[in-house]
A and B are shown apart, each in its own frame.
Chain A
Amino acid sequence: MSDNIDTSQDKSSPESSGLNKSGPEKATKSPLTIAISQNTKILALFAIACTLAVSLVSALTKDRVKAQEQQQLLRTLHSIIEPSRYDNDIANDCIMMSAPELGSNKVKTAYIARKAGEIVAVAITSTAPQGYNGNIDFIMAINNDGSVSGVRVLKHQETPGLGDKIEIRKSDWITNFTGKQILSEDDRRWAVRKDNGMFDQFTGATITPRAVVKGVKSTLNYFNQHRGSIIPRPNACGEHLSATELKATISSTTTPNNGAANEQ
């Protein structure tokens, strides 16, 4: 090893003094270049081996991860819409939407619960942007009559012990929304008690519940106003469905009156 370094220093010092003399060096490979190329090969070999191992594990666990995510989604959906109220494959029956009223400019998903083909409720993922510590992602189900079927917080960074009572695991505060209706667009009851509303705040945390109430209200308003234009959108979930949908969109580009009608 030390030999290598010595010769490399010998080689590199005239090289640096004599500017670019790479021409003759190419012909007779210096020990340095040999070492470098060898090390590069070994490193590349390990990189390939590691990538192979990771991709193997990834391929093996892929289905299971997907199933877990689906199960988690179903569990959440069940908690906000009674499973007995619908009979379709709700996790694979969804539409995409994006609106500033939903808290962020990301594309949001809405899952549709149907019973015998009739829509009974829609579960919308949304964001409350004014949390104490950033965005609060939640999912809320809205019944046909415009009342709330249930709300659950999906992701948040609120203070543990104070703001995290919006989680169902920590407190049942979030179930306060169940059955509530919004009477007009700026219904004054839709606020925390401190602001003369009908929802409790937590001791030591007002900002978090205020943000959630505001987010839920805004989402509810958005849905009630745009219901007519949202519901007829084509299904965007499920593997077999998305495949047929792809075909449908392709065919709809050629024959516009065909595909969209089939999807509903």
Chain B
Amino acid sequence: MSNEIAPQSSDDLDITDDTEAQENAAALKAEYKELAVQGLWKNNPGLVQLLGLCPLLAVTSTVTNALGLGLATMLVLICSNVTVSAIRHWVPKEIRIPIFVLIIAAFVTCVQLLMNAFTYGIYQSLGIFLPLIVTNCAIIGRAEAYASKNPIKQSAFDGLMMGLGFAIILILLGVIREILGQGTLFDGANLLLGDWASVLRIEVMQLDSQFLLAILPPGAFIAMGILIALKNAIDSYIKSKEVIDTEQVIERVRVNFDS
């Protein structure tokens, strides 16, 4: 647009271009920041959207498993977001869902094959939950809600943040359950990261008998509930702080009315 004005004064153009670019950059920055906040906290797939609960609860009995599934999900989420965003102009609206599912299924299969080839141990301990990433609503949800409407870079970042948010919750649950259940951390990390990682294993506390509830699925539900409650408590604490601030303003207004 600014090109049409160009012949009149080149100095002017530079300035407008600069400010425009700056505005764009600022908008982009705000967009990225918003994406990060949404993915990691406000709209966290694990804590708020409660999507993909099945793998979330099933594989988080150890940190290693949680890390494996978290990374796999994140990888699939980024790849599917990028692809969906890249093809968004060519896909007719009516058949977008089957195409998204196709793309996600293809990526999951690829990730599964790669994990089978390079991290065999973790592939075996994740079992059925690796192919089940296909059915994780968080992935198709992001494809539909964000990637199909936004450019590639933002979609990739969105995938990264949502995946990270999901992975963090998985790992948190894994930490809680592994410490309570087995008294260890990173047990079997060498399955995921190679033989050097066996030094990562930490004996947090010595347990005579394992705390079964933490290892079994009900323990995952309870830990998850506590995490959600914690998140809500933090949110309401922040909110109440804000309310106090606004209340003070209102009080002043009221005084004005009375007088």
> Do A and B interact with each other, yes or no?
yes
Question: With A57-B110, A61-B116, A65-B113 known to touch, is A42 a contact of B91 (CB < 8 Å)?
Answer: yes
Q: Are A39 and B212 in contact (CB under 8 A)?
A: no
Tell me if B102 is interfacial: C-beta within 8 Å of chain A. yes
Tell me if B106 is interfacial: C-beta within 8 Å of chain A. yes
Contact with B103, one of A39, A46, A65 (Cβ below 8 angstroms):
A46
9 interchain pairs, CB-CB under 8 A = A46-B102, A50-B102, A51-B106, A57-B110, A61-B116, A65-B116, A68-B120, A71-B120, A159-B216
Least CB separation from A53: chain B residue: B106
Tell me if B95 is interfacial: C-beta within 8 Å of chain A. yes
Q: How many residues of B contact A (CB 8 A)?
A: 28
Tell me if B94 is interfacial: C-beta within 8 Å of chain A. yes
| Distance between Cα atoms of A210 and B95 in the complex (Å) | 55
Instruction: For the complex formed, measure the closest distance between the CB of A260 and the CB atoms of chain B, giving whole angstroms.
Output: 36
Question: For residues 45 through 86 of chain A, which have their beta carbon under 8 Å from a beta carbon of chain B?
Answer: 46-47, 50-51, 53-54, 57-58, 61, 64-65, 68-69, 71-72
Categorize the interface residue count of chain A. Answer: 20 to 34
Taken residue by residue from 209 to 242, chain B's Cβ proximity to chain A (1 for < 8 Å, 0 otherwise) reads as: 1101001100000000000000000000000000
Question: With A50-B105, A50-B106, A161-B210 known to touch, is A43 a contact of B116 (CB < 8 Å)?
Answer: no
For the residues of A in contact with B, the DSSP-based class is helix
Chain A interface (Cβ < 8 Å from any Cβ of B): 1, 35, 38-39, 42-43, 46-47, 50-51, 53-54, 57-58, 61, 64-65, 68-69, 71-72, 159-162, 169, 203
| Distance between Cα atoms of A35 and B93 in the complex (Å) | 11
| Distance between Cα atoms of A46 and B96 in the complex (Å) | 11
Tell me if B6 is interfacial: C-beta within 8 Å of chain A. no
5 additional A-B pairs beyond A43-B99, A61-B113, A161-B215, beta carbons within 8 Å, are A43-B98, A61-B117, A65-B117, A69-B120, A72-B120
Q: Are B216 and A161 in contact (CB under 8 A)?
A: yes
Q: Are B120 and A162 in contact (CB under 8 A)?
A: no
Instruction: For the complex formed, measure the closest distance between the CB of A53 and the CB atoms of chain B, giving whole angstroms.
Output: 5
